Amino acid sequence: MATRRIPIDWDALETAVERNAPDTESFLDLTTGQVVTIVSGDPEAPVLKKQVADNIDNFVRIEPASSREQYRWMERFVQSVADEALRERLIIAIDGKGAFRRFKDVLLAYPAERERWFSYRADLLHWHIHNWLHEQGFEGQSTPPWGDPKPPPELPKVEGKPVVHGTEAPGEALRRQARDLLDGIAAIDLPSAIAFLDFLRERGTKGLLEQRESSDDGRSNRRSTASRAVAQRGGNVLRASEG
């Protein structure tokens, strides 16, 4: 099949390939190189759908990197993390629903590893774009801003606990252990245990918010105030339940 050279808005194409959502479709305009993104429920969606349908020969649907594929990228990255404590946290973070968000939240506190992840992920996205264009029989009229893509190098696997693919992932094992411990607690002590678990859950949520604030604008005063407020509230809850 002959390769057809077409104009491409590389930044828009990269965004479309990265975006994997069930309510979103993206199409590449073969005449202009622009990307048309249609989001279900958007007021402009019907107009954009008609625009594509009326000129269907001029558009090709963009295939984003699947969630399964991007999850494999995270797994390979986790296996290359040299810091054993961080690797353990990431293994637990990518277990179950919300894995992508938790993975990014953990890396917020590790800027060097976070930057390494973004660089690795960008290489994988660019290689995905290259392969997709090749399969479609297209080639850009201009060189992409990231240069000619090459197969991403294999990350070295660090010796240690592997990413588990068995019937029980690390996070589930910990949850099961917690349930077993609760089953062994006397009923009279359960209110205190529940209050403490609520405190831990709220402290974790506050901690993630503080990390985001610190990363975005360095508002350390707000962060320390929020931490003290959470700790005080948790202590009040515990004292009230024990009373």
For the stretch 21-53, pLDDT in tens is 889 999 999 999 999 999 999 999 999 999 999
Structure tokens at 226: 């929020």
Q: State which H helix or E strand residue 203 sits in.
A: helix 190-217
Judged against a pLDDT cut of 70, whether residue 101 lies above it is answered with yes
Mean per-residue pLDDT of the chain: 80
Domain spans in the chain, listed from the N-terminal domain onward: 4-61, 67-140, 185-242
Judged against a pLDDT cut of 80, whether residue 82 lies above it is answered with yes
Amino acid identity for residue 214 in this structure: S
Token look-up 């009230």 returns 240
β-sheet bridge partners, residue 4: 138
Q: Name the pairing type of β-strands 4-6 and 138-140.
A: parallel
- Report d(CA 234, CA 196) in Å as an integer: 7
What pTM was computed for the model? 0.64
Amino acid 215: pLDDT: 41
pLDDT in tens, 17-28: 998 888 999 999
Amino acid 153: pLDDT: 84
Q: Contact at 8 Å (CB) between 231 and 203?
A: yes
Closest among 220, 88, 72, 212 to 152, alpha carbons compared:
72
- Report d(CA 112, CA 86) in Å as an integer: 12
| Residue 149 pLDDT level (bands cut at 50, 70, 90) | confident
Q: Contact at 8 Å (CB) between 68 and 171?
A: no
pLDDT in tens, 106-123: 999 999 999 999 999 999
- If one compares 232 and 139, the residue with the highest pLDDT of the two is 139
Give the DSSP letter string of 153-188. PPPPPPSSSPPP-SSS-HHHHHHHHHHHHHHTS-GG
Q: Burial-class residue 124 by CB neighbours within 10 Å (0-12, 13-18, 19+).
A: buried
Judged against a pLDDT cut of 80, whether residue 161 lies above it is answered with no
Classify 33 in phi/psi space as left (phi over 0), alpha (psi -120 to 50) or beta: left
| Residue 188 pLDDT level (bands cut at 50, 70, 90) | confident
